[in-house]
Amino acid sequence: MITLNKKQQKLKLQVSNTWKFGLFMLAKLPMGLIAGMRLREITADKCVTSVPFKYLNKNPFQSIYFAVQSMAAELSTATPCLLAVAGHSPSVAFIIVDLKATFHKKATGRVFFTCNDGKKAFEAVDRAITSGEAQQVTFHTIGQMADGTVVSEFDFTWSFKQRQPKS
């Protein structure tokens, strides 16, 4: 069981609030807002995001464009990382170092991306702080339509490293 520090608890409440998350998207990820990405669920272990099939998101094949799916998939892995790095001093930086994707079916409806690897982010942050070395971790997320059809799967490898204290 992962115990969240006060900053992590506050961040979780903020991103769980639809209005506040919309403001975050407007300020930090405007293309995600335009695409209609939503954060559906966030816990220390799991994150679920979604993206709709709509005119702005479609490709010529009448399905959701792969880059739009990639944005929503990334959000499902990045949000647990944001939660894990919150409240550490000095802060912990993280960045994507690798991405692999597999597309199984056409995404013709809202796609929900589920990442159950949140615990890995907390473990990697702890190792980065303890060792002082960068830690790389791969997070798996699966994109499914409401009927359960798996349309895509993504593996994002994130690198975590604690910043040097300011002197």
**45: helix, strand or coil:** coil
Q: How large a percentage of the chain has pLDDT more than 70?
A: 99
pLDDT of residue 96: 97
Q: State which residues form the domain around 63.
A: 6-162
Does any domain span residue 78? yes
One digit per residue, pLDDT tens: the chain, 167 residues? Answer: 788 889 999 999 999 999 999 999 999 999 999 999 999 999 989 999 999 999 999 999 999 999 999 999 999 999 999 999 998 888 999 999 999 999 999 999 999 999 999 999 999 999 999 999 999 999 999 999 999 999 999 999 999 999 987 76
| Number of domains, the chain | 1
Per residue in 11-37, pLDDT (tens digit) is: 999 999 999 999 999 999 999 999 999
For 84, phi then psi, to 5°, come to -70, -35
Is residue 167 included in any domain, yes or no?
Answer: no
Farthest-apart Cα atoms in the chain, separation: 55
Residue 38 belongs to a domain: yes
CA distances to 30, 47, 82, 93 from 22, rounded to whole Å, are 9, 17, 16, 23
Q: Which residues pair with 154 in a beta bridge?
A: 101, 141
Domain membership of residue 72 (yes or no) is yes
Distance CA 86, CA 122 (A): 10
Q: SS3 letters for 89-140? A: CCCEEEEEEEEEEEECCCCCCCEEEEECCHHHHHHHHHHHHHHCCCEEEEEE
Which domain CATH number covers 157? 3.10.129.10
Flag whether 43 is in a domain.
yes
